Amino acid sequence: MVRQSSKVIWIGIALSLVACSASTGTTTGPAPAIDNAQSSARAACHSGSAIAAGERLRISSTVAPITSLVANIAGDHADIAGLVPEGTNSHTFEPAPSVAAVLAKTDVLFVNGLLLEEPTKELAGKNRSNGAVLCELGTASLSVADYIYDFSFPIEGGKPNPHLWTNPPLARQYAEIVRDVLVRIDPAHAGAYRSNATVFIARINKLDAAMVTATATVPANQRKLLTYHDAYAYFARNYGWTVIGAMQPSNFNEPTAKEIAGLITQVRKTGVPAIFGSEVFPSPVLEQIGAETNVKYVDVLRDDDLPGKPGDPNHSFLGLMQFDYITMVDALGGDASALKALDISDVSIDTAKYPQ
């Protein structure tokens, strides 16, 4: 399958439930801004100094997919605390005052960036210990020219779509950055971090290849995503899918009756074979749309809430991606055999703390 170009087109659509003619529906941003944010984020990730010999590395992270990714590379050489509870809307999450005590003791805080966790970053700015590193993995992985703005993340709002981790090539960049940060901050365990990252990145590459194979089995006119939350824009751009809409508007309020009626019309026109809701955030409206349009409603997708519970074999970044992709491919008429055959086990035992 030929993948789409990485060029992005920017748009801002007033209604959050309007279809895009391409998989992202976008235009190129102003050239002078390209790479400035990315370069600054990368420099921040490589700031700070190494921990003292014999000290144990203390890591904090935000959403669960990032916590899992970090845990796979850190192994048992660090204490890792997730800060954003699973099942929480990460866009609106406000950390409790008790998080300040965790941040005061952390050596490195991994966040997604792209304006996803601003309250947590603000709290970290006030409570991080001297020399602690704040690393924005998403901002460091993507140039401004490749940001996606769409119906849920209009350019007028100034916040790009932040869900880079649902696209394996970008998740691979997250892993590479985490590896490099840990090697520099904790050189005593550099060999283990490099070794864990090599195995983990290899599994991301196999996930990527399996998604290419699975996509080829989905009829081209059925590679369409209508979801509760707009979490798959970068995934869609990479694999040649089309995101036709998302139920959750850009202001995270409930959609209006007019928007719902427009989406029903859109579903009928596009002939999308399935619409996808969230297991974490049930949507009676999407269920109603499915019933009124006679389209299959699949209500189990999740974008930053890992399957199962901490300690379960599938409670991981790889488990999350495999689950979502199998769900999408099966529902849209494809063969997910390549995805089902993947090894999604953790590279090392995940002892991170995941708030529930």
Summarised one tens digit per residue, pLDDT across range 187-244 is 999 999 999 999 999 999 999 999 999 999 999 999 999 888 889 999 999 999 999 8
Cα–Cα distance, 143 to 71 (Å, whole number): 26
Looking at residue 249, its pLDDT comes to: 54
> Which range among 86-95, 163-172, 178-187, 326-335 shows the weakest confidence by mean pLDDT?
86-95
Looking at residue 5, its pLDDT comes to: 34
Residue 83 is encoded by which pair of tokens? 């800060």
Looking at residue 11, its pLDDT comes to: 26
Topology classification of domain 34-207: Rossmann fold (3.40.50)
* Burial class of residue 52, CB neighbours in 10 A (0-12, 13-18, 19+): exposed
Torsion angle defined by CA atoms of residues 125, 126, 127 and 132, in that order, rounded to the nearest 10 degrees: 30
Cβ within 8 Å of residue 168, ≥6 positions away: 204, 205, 207, 208, 211, 238, 321
Cβ proximity of 213 and 1 under 8 Å: no
Domain ranges of the chain: 34-207, 215-340
Report the percent of the chain where pLDDT is more than 90: 63
Residues 338-355 have pLDDT tens digits of 999 999 999 999 999 999
Looking at residue 325, its pLDDT comes to: 98
Query: Stretch 295-320: mean pLDDT, rounded?
Result: 93
Q: How many CB atoms lie within 10 A of CB 79?
A: 17
Residue 239 identity:
Y
Residues 81-136 have pLDDT tens digits of 999 998 888 888 888 888 999 999 999 999 999 999 999 999 998 888 778 999 99
Looking at residue 133, its pLDDT comes to: 95
Looking at residue 179, its pLDDT comes to: 98
pTM: 0.88
Looking at residue 157, its pLDDT comes to: 87
34-207 matches 215-340 in fold:
yes
Cβ proximity of 67 and 84 under 8 Å: no
Task: Annotate 293-332 with b (16+ C-beta within 10 A) or e (fewer).
Answer: bebebbbebbbbbbbeebeeeebbbbbbbbbbbbbbbbbb
Q: Is 45 helix (H, G, I), strand (E, B) or coil?
A: helix
Looking at residue 291, its pLDDT comes to: 87
pLDDT, mean over the chain: 86
Q: Which CATH class is domain 215-340?
A: alpha beta
Query: Stretch 14-41: mean pLDDT, rounded?
Result: 51
Query: Stretch 70-85: mean pLDDT, rounded?
Result: 96
- Where do runs of H (alpha helix) occur along 98-189? 99-105, 118-127, 137-141, 168-185
